[in-house]
Amino acid sequence: TTVPSSDVNNTTDPGQDIVPEIGITGTPVIDPVSSTLYVVAKTKEIVDSQAHLVQRLHALDLVTGAEKFGGPIVIGDAILSAPFLNGGVTTYVSGPVVGGSTFDAAWALNRYGLLLLNGVVYVGWASHGDSGFYHGWVTAHDPQTLGLVAAFNVSPNGGLGGIWHGGPASDASGAIYVSTGNGDFAVTGPLSPAYGETVLKLLPSAGLSVADYFTPFNQATLTTNDTDLSSGGVIVLPDQPGAHPHLMVAAGKEGKLYLINRDDMGKYQRCGATCDGVVQTVDLSSGIFGTPAYFNGRVYYHGAGDVVKAFQLTNGLLSTTPVSQTTTGWGFPGSSPSVSANGTTNGIVWTIQVTGYKTGVPAILHAYDAIDLTRELYNSNQVTADHLESGVKFSTPTVANGKAYIGTQSTLVVYGVLSSGTLGNPTNLTATAVSTSQINLAWTAATGPVTSYRVERCQGAGCTNFALLATGVAGTTYNDTGLTATTSYSYRVRATDAAGNLSGYSNTATATTPAAGDTTPPTNPSGLTVTAASSSQINTAWTASTDNVGVTGYLVERCQGTGCTTFAQVATVTTISYNDTGLAAATSYSYRVRATDAAGNLSGYSNVASATTGSTPPPIAFVQGNFATPQSPTSTVTVTYTAAQVAGDLNVVIVGWNDASSTVTSVTDTVGNAYSRAVGPTIQPGPAGGGGLTQSIYYAKNILGAAANANTVTVRFSAAATFPDIRI
């Protein structure tokens, strides 16, 4: 049987734990591939007159509900001598053992949701009402055999550290994130390792070892005051731009939200709140006893005694104040929001108000607009038939397949949109664009007592965010006017009757308005300038035109001669410049430009601008200034420039000699010009047994000026050269 709450409550407060019974308290996990639901159940069984509290993992067929894989298997078994409140003690029968600490199935409570990750089922554990000397655990199970494959104890050498609200989070790397509650914390010393009041990063690949963690600076105070961190759960956020792309959030009873870098979680720093090694902290103003929800860049929290709040996530940081919040709230324990949506549109935030779970006061289901939380779309107290029974502490609404599922203390209640029963759906909806600003709709009438139709529309290819366009449409046609050209619009229609009941939707019909004819020319180009770049090129540039649709190009026209007026088109360009080449030297050219658009509309002309190409430079003239031809072998030859030299001219020295063994070692002159070899040495062999002719050419550019007979060139050879011939 299930376990009576009175067996495990350690206080006279009937609301210390879940009432009225303990059975399945952790959200199951489903494997859609094998159609298997994995769930943990706690039972009380009498064996040989002794009460055993047993924790089992079940694998159930989704279709038949039958046990699979030889299940269930016992995770842990303990004998309870009497209810805890009456001083009952437990005796270990079976269960995991880590570091000398055993898994106590009697104290242990699985409130944490199960996780199926990479072929392993993970279960988180705490205790009933944070009572007794217990340990927080994570157990890992093979999904085919259900057997234990790994176990992690939060405080094997200490105590407590329950993992108790929400469920484990995981990321693309395969890491698992959990938060722990009241308990010992130590990373050194006899109690270590102990991770009370901590957000943990566990690596399944390393046997659930701790890869990183974050512990608030005031962890000891949190434990002393029972303001533990695990009450707010954890969620992993989508990747963000900026320095910290991999983020997660955690919060607890203290009412402080921690934005944590999953790549460097911050560990434990004793120096105070400003030293918590997290990306950001946000004051939530109330204790958190529920897991947040994330939707479209917003994180939703609902604290005890507070309203539902949305915080915006932008570029890796959260807004420090809510961007939206409900107008009313309620007391303990707040709630764990759930979000339903059509993709990224039509978001609804669902919450359950269970403030009366101790006293039997009915719970209330609330639904809010996810964008504007001040808009309450629905609550279950609005209609008597929708009233709930008393709720369960820390329960969460589940939304799937267009229905909201709520567990109470005795029943499962399902909410959805009721069918009108008598109204059929409109059919055969068509949409036809008849102009650039109008689309006409037509459809086949719905069956039943139809009084009118409602038309909904959305804009853009593939859109899904329909909004109400028209109500009270009496016939089966509707003309939508005032539309934008070249734009796609989608429509759907539903019928209504006199009581306001609505049919389902018709099919969706889509049409695109045509483009409007363009008769507006671009503005004139302006600021035309032309510049002669050489004797054969003129460069043009101008300021761009504008157009109601868009400029597609420019037509460049040119005429030749001073004062010319007979222009002819020479180019079409898409840029705002043009380089005109192949022109005649020392010639005047004039230019003008006009713009065009896709419809062929032409602008007026720009201003006219003119330029004249440069003259053709004279050819380079080389003149021999002097020479020397010693008739006997020598290693040094000098030659003097007899004419004056102008700075910037080019000196050329031609060196020849009639052997192949000597080489030129240097060419210098009196004024210090630097000579470089341009050609050679070129060797032409002589007749058999004779010498050959060797020749090199040297030059000095940008020479220094010198008076006539004031500059002497000196050529030096490595050895006495035969018949040297030096010309300058």
pLDDT tens for residues 558-609?
999 999 999 999 999 999 999 999 999 999 999 999 999 988 899 999 999 9
What is the mean pLDDT of the segment spanning 263-271? Answer: 90
Residue where the block lists tokens 């419809």: 599
Q: 345 or 281: whose pLDDT is higher? A: 281
pLDDT digits (tens, 9 = 90+) for 495-535: 998 877 888 899 999 999 988 788 889 999 999 999 999 99
Measure the CA–CA gap between 132 and 109, rounded to whole angstroms.
12
Kindly give the residue spans of alpha helices, DSSP state H, lying in 225-331.
none
Among 72-86, 224-238, 429-443, name the one with the lowest average pLDDT. 72-86
- Ranges 23-27, 389-393, 654-658, most confident: 23-27
Tell me what percent of the residues of the chain surpass a pLDDT of 90: 66
Tell me what percent of the residues of the chain surpass a pLDDT of 70: 96
> How distant, in Å, are the alpha carbons of 69, 113, 678 from that of 60?
9, 16, 92
What is the mean pLDDT of the segment spanning 252-277? Answer: 88
What is the mean pLDDT of the segment spanning 40-66? Answer: 95
Q: What is the mean pLDDT of the chain?
A: 91
- Ranges 319-328, 340-349, 681-690, most confident: 319-328
- pLDDT at position 14 over 70: no
pLDDT band of 13, cuts 50, 70, 90: low
With beta carbons less than 8 A apart as the criterion, state whether 278 and 261 touch.
yes
Homologous superfamily, domain 526-612: Immunoglobulins (2.60.40.10)
Provide CATH code, domain 427-512: 2.60.40.10
Nearest alpha-carbon partner for 260 in 237, 292, 283, 241: 237
pLDDT band of 16, cuts 50, 70, 90: low
- pLDDT at position 689 over 50: no
- Ranges 15-24, 45-54, 680-689, most confident: 45-54
Q: Is the dihedral of CA 651, 657, 660, 662 positive or negative?
A: negative
Cα distance from N-terminal residue to C-terminal residue, the chain = 119
Bridge partners, 256 (sequence order): 283
- Provide the pLDDT for residue 686: 64
What is the mean pLDDT of the segment spanning 542-555? Answer: 94
Taking the mean position of all CA atoms in its chain, how far away is CA 75? 40
What is the mean pLDDT of the segment spanning 30-57? Answer: 95
pLDDT digits (tens, 9 = 90+) for 152-202: 999 999 999 999 999 999 999 999 999 999 999 999 999 999 999 999 999
pLDDT digits (tens, 9 = 90+) for 188-200: 999 999 999 999 9
Nearest alpha-carbon partner for 2 in 49, 38, 41, 37: 41
What is the mean pLDDT of the segment spanning 393-400? Answer: 90
Cβ neighbours around 379 below 10 Å, total: 15
